Chain A
Amino acid sequence: DGGITQSPKYLFRKEGQNVTLSCEQNLNHDAMYWYRQDPGQGLRLIYYSQIVNDFQKGDIAEGYSVSREKKESFPLTVTSAQKNPTAFYLCASSILNIGTAEAFFGQGTRLTVV
Protein backbone atom coordinates (compact mmCIF):
# COMPACT_ATOMS: atom_id res chain seq x y z
CA ASP A 1 0.00 0.00 0.00
CA GLY A 2 1.22 3.48 -0.84
CA GLY A 3 1.52 5.92 1.98
CA ILE A 4 3.62 8.14 4.18
CA THR A 5 5.23 6.84 7.34
CA GLN A 6 6.60 8.71 10.30
CA SER A 7 8.65 7.19 13.07
CA PRO A 8 8.75 6.96 15.96
CA LYS A 9 5.22 7.75 17.11
CA TYR A 10 6.43 8.92 20.53
CA LEU A 11 9.86 10.34 21.32
CA PHE A 12 11.39 11.60 24.51
CA ARG A 13 14.47 13.79 24.51
CA LYS A 14 16.60 15.30 27.18
CA GLU A 15 17.27 18.99 27.03
CA GLY A 16 20.40 19.79 25.04
CA GLN A 17 20.13 16.76 22.74
CA ASN A 18 19.45 16.74 19.03
CA VAL A 19 16.86 14.29 17.75
CA THR A 20 15.87 13.20 14.24
CA LEU A 21 12.32 12.42 13.14
CA SER A 22 11.90 10.11 10.19
CA CYS A 23 9.49 10.61 7.29
CA GLU A 24 9.28 8.21 4.33
CA GLN A 25 6.80 8.11 1.46
CA ASN A 26 6.28 5.67 -1.41
CA LEU A 27 3.70 7.78 -3.26
CA ASN A 28 6.28 9.11 -5.72
CA HIS A 29 5.49 12.65 -4.59
CA ASP A 30 7.95 15.43 -5.32
CA ALA A 31 6.81 17.79 -2.55
CA MET A 32 7.30 17.05 1.15
CA TYR A 33 6.55 19.18 4.21
CA TRP A 34 7.12 19.32 7.94
CA TYR A 35 4.53 20.94 10.19
CA ARG A 36 4.33 21.50 13.89
CA GLN A 37 0.97 21.26 15.67
CA ASP A 38 0.43 22.83 19.09
CA PRO A 39 -2.83 22.90 21.07
CA GLY A 40 -5.10 25.76 20.09
CA GLN A 41 -3.01 26.69 17.04
CA GLY A 42 -3.08 25.92 13.38
CA LEU A 43 -0.39 23.82 11.74
CA ARG A 44 2.80 25.83 11.28
CA LEU A 45 5.23 25.13 8.46
CA ILE A 46 8.80 24.30 9.49
CA TYR A 47 10.48 23.28 6.21
CA TYR A 48 9.42 22.09 2.80
CA SER A 49 11.04 20.53 -0.22
CA GLN A 50 9.73 20.42 -3.77
CA ILE A 51 12.60 18.50 -5.31
CA VAL A 52 15.48 16.30 -4.25
CA ASN A 53 18.51 18.16 -2.87
CA ASP A 54 16.54 21.35 -2.39
CA PHE A 55 14.49 22.63 0.54
CA GLN A 56 13.09 25.92 1.82
CA LYS A 57 12.51 27.38 5.26
CA GLY A 58 8.96 27.76 6.45
CA ASP A 59 7.59 30.15 9.02
CA ILE A 60 9.27 28.58 12.08
CA ALA A 61 12.53 27.03 10.80
CA GLU A 62 14.77 28.27 13.62
CA GLY A 63 16.19 25.39 15.64
CA TYR A 64 15.33 22.79 12.99
CA SER A 65 17.21 21.28 10.06
CA VAL A 66 16.26 18.94 7.20
CA SER A 67 17.79 17.06 4.29
CA ARG A 68 16.35 15.69 1.06
CA GLU A 69 18.88 13.27 -0.36
CA LYS A 70 16.25 10.89 -1.72
CA LYS A 71 12.80 11.54 -3.15
CA GLU A 72 11.25 9.17 -0.62
CA SER A 73 12.82 10.59 2.53
CA PHE A 74 12.65 13.94 4.33
CA PRO A 75 14.04 13.64 7.88
CA LEU A 76 13.70 16.49 10.36
CA THR A 77 16.30 17.18 13.05
CA VAL A 78 15.20 19.09 16.12
CA THR A 79 18.33 20.70 17.47
CA SER A 80 19.15 21.86 20.96
CA ALA A 81 18.72 25.41 19.66
CA GLN A 82 14.94 24.92 19.42
CA LYS A 83 13.67 26.63 22.55
CA ASN A 84 10.33 24.92 22.86
CA PRO A 85 10.48 21.59 21.01
CA THR A 86 7.71 19.69 22.79
CA ALA A 87 4.97 19.35 20.15
CA PHE A 88 3.23 17.06 17.68
CA TYR A 89 5.14 16.94 14.38
CA LEU A 90 3.44 16.07 11.11
CA CYS A 91 5.07 15.22 7.82
CA ALA A 92 3.11 15.56 4.59
CA SER A 93 3.62 14.96 0.90
CA SER A 94 1.77 16.02 -2.23
CA ILE A 95 2.17 15.30 -5.92
CA LEU A 96 2.38 19.03 -6.62
CA ASN A 97 2.71 22.05 -4.38
CA ILE A 98 0.56 21.52 -1.27
CA GLY A 99 -1.51 24.55 -2.24
CA THR A 100 -2.65 22.93 -5.45
CA ALA A 101 -3.16 19.28 -4.57
CA GLU A 102 -4.38 17.01 -1.81
CA ALA A 103 -1.79 16.44 0.88
CA PHE A 104 -1.14 13.08 2.51
CA PHE A 105 -0.01 13.16 6.10
CA GLY A 106 1.93 10.74 8.23
CA GLN A 107 0.61 9.61 11.61
CA GLY A 108 2.75 12.15 13.42
CA THR A 109 5.51 12.06 16.03
CA ARG A 110 4.83 13.38 19.49
CA LEU A 111 8.09 14.77 20.86
CA THR A 112 8.46 15.46 24.56
CA VAL A 113 11.50 17.13 26.07
CA VAL A 114 12.20 15.92 29.59
Chain B
Amino acid sequence: GQNIDQPTEMTATEGAIVQINCTYQTSGFNGLFWYQQHAGEAPTFLSYNVLDGLEEKGRFSSFLSRSKGYSYLLLKELQMKDSASYLCAVVDSNYQLIWGAGTKLIIKP
Protein backbone atom coordinates (compact mmCIF):
# COMPACT_ATOMS: atom_id res chain seq x y z
CA GLY B 1 0.00 0.00 0.00
CA GLN B 2 0.88 3.65 -0.13
CA ASN B 3 1.53 5.52 3.06
CA ILE B 4 2.59 9.04 3.98
CA ASP B 5 3.23 9.80 7.66
CA GLN B 6 3.45 13.22 9.26
CA PRO B 7 2.98 14.29 12.88
CA THR B 8 -0.57 15.46 13.47
CA GLU B 9 0.30 18.59 15.42
CA MET B 10 3.38 20.51 16.54
CA THR B 11 3.85 23.58 18.71
CA ALA B 12 6.72 26.06 18.50
CA THR B 13 7.63 29.52 19.76
CA GLU B 14 7.77 32.69 17.70
CA GLY B 15 11.33 33.32 16.51
CA ALA B 16 12.39 29.69 16.93
CA ILE B 17 13.11 26.90 14.41
CA VAL B 18 10.86 23.91 13.76
CA GLN B 19 11.34 20.77 11.67
CA ILE B 20 8.32 18.93 10.27
CA ASN B 21 9.05 15.37 9.19
CA CYS B 22 7.43 13.30 6.46
CA THR B 23 8.10 9.61 5.83
CA TYR B 24 6.67 7.74 2.89
CA GLN B 25 6.20 4.33 1.33
CA THR B 26 4.79 4.60 -2.18
CA SER B 27 4.63 2.74 -5.47
CA GLY B 28 7.36 4.62 -7.24
CA PHE B 29 8.79 8.03 -6.47
CA ASN B 30 9.01 10.98 -8.80
CA GLY B 31 9.37 13.83 -6.36
CA LEU B 32 7.96 15.33 -3.17
CA PHE B 33 6.04 18.55 -2.61
CA TRP B 34 5.36 20.63 0.49
CA TYR B 35 2.29 22.87 0.62
CA GLN B 36 1.09 25.30 3.29
CA GLN B 37 -2.61 25.54 4.13
CA HIS B 38 -4.11 28.10 6.47
CA ALA B 39 -7.37 26.99 8.09
CA GLY B 40 -10.25 26.98 5.62
CA GLU B 41 -8.08 28.27 2.79
CA ALA B 42 -6.34 27.00 -0.32
CA PRO B 43 -3.06 25.10 -0.07
CA THR B 44 -0.14 27.07 -1.49
CA PHE B 45 3.11 25.68 -2.89
CA LEU B 46 6.23 25.82 -0.74
CA SER B 47 8.81 23.48 -2.23
CA TYR B 48 9.59 20.57 -4.52
CA ASN B 49 12.40 18.01 -4.11
CA VAL B 50 13.27 15.26 -6.53
CA LEU B 51 16.98 14.77 -5.76
CA ASP B 52 18.56 14.07 -2.39
CA GLY B 53 19.65 17.06 -0.41
CA LEU B 54 18.55 20.39 0.92
CA GLU B 55 16.64 23.06 -0.99
CA GLU B 56 16.63 26.47 0.65
CA LYS B 57 14.13 29.22 -0.04
CA GLY B 58 14.24 32.12 2.37
CA ARG B 59 13.10 31.07 5.85
CA PHE B 60 11.92 27.70 4.54
CA SER B 61 14.11 24.73 3.58
CA SER B 62 13.17 21.24 2.49
CA PHE B 63 15.31 18.11 2.66
CA LEU B 64 14.95 14.77 0.90
CA SER B 65 16.54 11.35 1.37
CA ARG B 66 15.14 8.93 -1.20
CA SER B 67 16.98 5.92 0.26
CA LYS B 68 15.33 6.51 3.63
CA GLY B 69 11.92 7.53 2.28
CA TYR B 70 12.17 10.70 4.33
CA SER B 71 11.75 14.42 3.95
CA TYR B 72 11.54 17.36 6.30
CA LEU B 73 10.49 20.97 6.09
CA LEU B 74 12.54 23.38 8.19
CA LEU B 75 11.04 26.71 9.17
CA LYS B 76 13.35 29.33 10.66
CA GLU B 77 12.62 32.59 12.49
CA LEU B 78 9.05 31.54 13.05
CA GLN B 79 6.34 34.17 12.73
CA MET B 80 2.75 34.05 13.95
CA LYS B 81 1.58 33.91 10.32
CA ASP B 82 3.36 30.54 9.97
CA SER B 83 0.57 28.98 12.03
CA ALA B 84 -0.96 26.65 9.45
CA SER B 85 -1.07 23.06 8.30
CA TYR B 86 1.84 21.76 6.28
CA LEU B 87 1.04 19.08 3.70
CA CYS B 88 3.56 16.60 2.35
CA ALA B 89 2.72 15.04 -1.04
CA VAL B 90 4.67 12.36 -2.91
CA VAL B 91 4.56 11.97 -6.70
CA ASP B 92 3.91 8.30 -7.46
CA SER B 93 4.80 6.20 -10.51
CA ASN B 94 1.75 7.58 -12.39
CA TYR B 95 2.77 11.15 -11.63
CA GLN B 96 -0.20 11.63 -9.33
CA LEU B 97 0.12 13.06 -5.83
CA ILE B 98 -0.28 10.95 -2.70
CA TRP B 99 -1.01 13.33 0.17
CA GLY B 100 -0.18 13.09 3.84
CA ALA B 101 -2.83 14.16 6.35
CA GLY B 102 -0.88 17.30 7.16
CA THR B 103 0.83 18.69 10.25
CA LYS B 104 -0.91 21.48 12.12
CA LEU B 105 1.72 23.92 13.37
CA ILE B 106 0.80 26.17 16.29
CA ILE B 107 3.04 29.16 16.97
CA LYS B 108 3.01 30.66 20.44
CA PRO B 109 4.28 34.16 21.29
Contacts and interface: CB of A to CB of B under 8 A. Distances in A.
Given A41-B101, A106-B42, A98 B96 contact: yes
Interface in B1-23: 4, 8
B42 A42 contact: no
Q: Is the interface of B mostly helix, strand, loop or mixed?
A: loop
Contacts of A102: 45, 48
B96 A99 contact: yes
Given A99-B31, A103-B45, A43 B99 contact: yes
B100 A42 contact: yes
Interface residues of A, number: 22
A13 B61 CA distance: 42
A98 B101 CA distance: 18
A108 B96 contact: no
B30 interface: yes
Interface in B66-98: 87, 89, 91-92, 94-98
Contacts of A48: 96
A40 interface: yes
Contacts of A100: 30-31, 91, 95
Interface residues of B, number: 25
A107 to B, nearest CB: 5
A98 B48 CA distance: 12
A70 B45 CA distance: 25
A74 interface: no
A42 B96 contact: no
Nearest to A43: B99
Contacts of B101: 40-42
Given A40-B101, A42-B99, A42-B100, A99 B30 contact: yes
Interface of B: 4, 8, 30-31, 35, 40-45, 48, 87, 89, 91-92, 94-102
